[in-house]
């Protein structure tokens, strides 16, 4: 916080006024297993439906349905090209973290626990059975941190087994398996006795 104050007193005072559970990763719950702090997904969806937003409700819904139908087809096709059992961007992160973990020194203490000394004499406890590290990054992201990777590599574990299931191909296949079927044009829709929209 002192470093924050030296950068900007206004930001420091604003943060001090707020409950730390809302802005500090140290206090985030690890149940979400997601490292994003912004609303990129909402913004991406809003951008995708931008042309549809000012349309009448049925046209709006039809444009969204078409967008989602194409997206599901595209995602299923992308998954067919996966070379690994995890997303390619996660695989790249793991490869980078493997290199970074080479500066760590794990010491096995028993019962799946490791004491891992990292850069700058930093030291963390890793429990590979529970997939946790004292730095909390593994719990927050679902991807082992450099301390976790160091411990896993020293025990000859397959890193893929210790990545959260949400990044695995099987779960992506399940998520994108539903089909949004095409529908006939409005001229072929059933007529009702209700008032038109």
pLDDT of 76 > 90? The answer is yes
Q: What is the pLDDT of residue 179?
A: 96
Q: How far apart are CA 128 and CA 140, in angstroms?
A: 15
- Report the candidate in 21, 145, 165 with the shortest Cα–Cα distance to residue 93: 145
Model pLDDT, residue 53: 87
* Average pLDDT score over residue span 92-109: 96
Tell me the whole-structure pTM to 2 decimals: 0.72
Is pLDDT at 89 greater than 70 in this prediction? yes
**Region 32-59 average pLDDT:** 79
In whole angstroms, give the CA distance from residue 162 to residue 185: 48
User: What CA–CA distance (Å, rounded) separates 177 from 126?
Assistant: 36
Say how far residue 80 (Cα) sits from the centre of its chain.
20
- Answer with the residue of higher pLDDT: 26 or 157: 157
Element (H, E) at 116: strand 113-117
| pLDDT (tens digit per residue) in 53-72 | 899 998 999 999 999 999 99
| 128 vs 15: CA distance, rounded Å | 34
Return the residue matching tokens 């959260």.
Answer: 164
Cα(73)–Cα(176) distance, rounded to whole angstroms?
Answer: 8
């Amino acid at each position: 916080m002192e470093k924050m104050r030296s950068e900007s007193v206004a930001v420091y005072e604003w943060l001090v006024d707020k409950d730390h559970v809302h802005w500090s990763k140290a206090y985030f719950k690890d149940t979400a297993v997601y490292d994003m702090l912004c609303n990129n997904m909402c913004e991406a969806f809003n951008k995708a439906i931008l042309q549809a937003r000012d349309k009448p409700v049925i046209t709006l819904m039809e444009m969204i349905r078409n967008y989602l139908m194409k997206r599901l087809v595209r995602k299923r096709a992308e998954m067919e090209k996966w070379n690994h059992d995890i997303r390619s961007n996660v695989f790249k992160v793991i490869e980078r973290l493997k290199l970074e973990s080479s500066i760590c020194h794990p010491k096995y203490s028993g019962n799946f626990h490791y004491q891992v000394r990292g850069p700058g004499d930093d030291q963390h406890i890793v429990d590979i059975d529970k997939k946790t590290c004292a730095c909390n990054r593994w719990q927050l992201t679902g991807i082992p941190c450099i301390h976790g990777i160091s411990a896993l590599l020293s025990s000859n574990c397959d890193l893929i087994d210790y990545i959260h299931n949400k990044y695995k191909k099987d779960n992506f296949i399940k998520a994108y398996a539903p089909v949004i079927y095409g529908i006939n044009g409005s001229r072929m829709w059933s007529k009702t006795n209700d008032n038109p929209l």
